[in-house]
Amino acid sequence: MDRETAKDIFAASERALAALTEAEQAIRRISDEAERKVLLGALSDVIADVLTGIRFAALRQYPDLEPAQKLGPPDTDLTVEEKALVSKLSTTELELIDRALLSECVSAWRKVARVVGAAMFSVQVHLPDVPDGFYAQRVAQLVSSGKLESQGNLAYMRFSEVRLSSDPRSAA
């Protein structure tokens, strides 16, 4: 694609993400928890598709289209309360989280934000209060253990990607 088309695609995806953020705020006001969860799951899928399927296509060819951003604190930072909550997770619950994360990974690169969001959605019935930053920490642990490969900065879910390890020894 030419630069002008990539620029238009990037700008349109930014507008779409802003509109989806407005939708998220409205969805969070829905009092019926089951309905809210279904809609948030669908919204998560759409956001992931916009980020990875549309926006990334333009940025892959013209990375300079994305303005430099102040990253802020890492996504993996947890509050004192969140640290206390996750410190109580059992080995079985950690394994559940890891299985959910791995089940969202394939041999192609996927944004960590997409993997984390989908994994959280799949285990929310069992672990509704576990923060996304902890899931991101578990992704980094799965990379360290060799089960996943990564590129980008794992401290920031939007700026990193993972895929299943191509090393056959990591399956063990």
106-126: pLDDT as tens digits = 999 999 999 999 999 999 889
Task: Say what the pLDDT of residue 57 is.
Answer: 82
Considering the domain architecture, whether residues 166 and 111 belong to the same structural domain is answered as: yes
Domain check: are 83 and 134 in the same one? yes
Residues 120 and 49 in one domain: no
* Domain count within the chain: 2
Q: Do 62 and 93 sit in the same domain of this protein?
A: no
Structure tokens at 17: 């993400």
Number of other CB atoms surrounding residue 84 within 10 Å: 10
Distance CA 116, CA 47 (A): 13
Label residue 59 by pLDDT band (50, 70, 90). Answer: confident
64, 125: one domain: no
In this prediction, residue 69 carries a pLDDT of 61
Instruction: Return the pLDDT at 94.
Output: 97
13 vs 142, higher pLDDT: 142
Clarify whether residues 96 and 161 are in a common domain: yes
Residue 133 belongs to domain spanning: 73-172
Helix (H, G, I), strand (E, B) or coil at 16: helix
Summarised one tens digit per residue, pLDDT across range 14-48 is 888 888 888 888 888 889 888 988 898 888 888 88
* Residue 70 Cα distances to 73, 74, 107, angstroms: 9, 11, 31
Laid out side by side, the sheet with 160-164 consists of: 110-111, 160-164, 148-152
